[in-house]
Amino acid sequence: MGKQVLLIEDEPNIIEAISFILSRDGWTVRTHSTGRDTMDVVRARAPDLIILDVMLPGRSGFDILADIRADPAVGATPVLMLTARGQRKDREMAEKAGASRYMTKPFSNAEVLAVVRDLAGE
């Protein structure tokens, strides 16, 4: 089976852009757009990498990240956090919560691809 990424994002334009970029690079992209039942989806999909938005309907990306890191089955999965808020305190919160990387919106296609490849060890 190929490389799988779970994109947890509620903005349709970002979902479409990231899905296109990564699919073209050989990734299988699964998406989820709410925070409420995200852990069930993460456990069911067991992705190689997670891209997680900070602001989601129903639950904060920081709370979801804490749950991911606390779960032995998926806790080691690399997580790229995306946010429209690029303030220093937001970056520090992401690092403290255990984000593998942190990226602010807007971002370039090349930047997303480079970070995903790096997190995947390519």
pLDDT digits 0-9 by tens, 60-81: 999 999 999 999 999 999 999 9
Q: Is the pLDDT of residue 30 over 50?
A: yes
Mean pLDDT over residues 26-48, rounded? 95
How do beta strands 59-60 and 28-32 pair?
Answer: unpaired
pLDDT value of position 50: 98
pLDDT digits (tens, 9 = 90+) for 79-113: 999 988 777 888 888 888 899 999 988 899 999 99
pLDDT value of position 62: 92
Question: How far from 54 is each of 18, 22, 26, 45, CA to CA, in Å?
Answer: 16, 20, 26, 20
Whole-number percent of the chain with pLDDT over 90: 79
Give this prediction's pTM: 0.94
pLDDT value of position 88: 82
| Domains of the chain from N-terminus onward | 4-119 (3.40.50.2300)
Residues composing the chain: 122
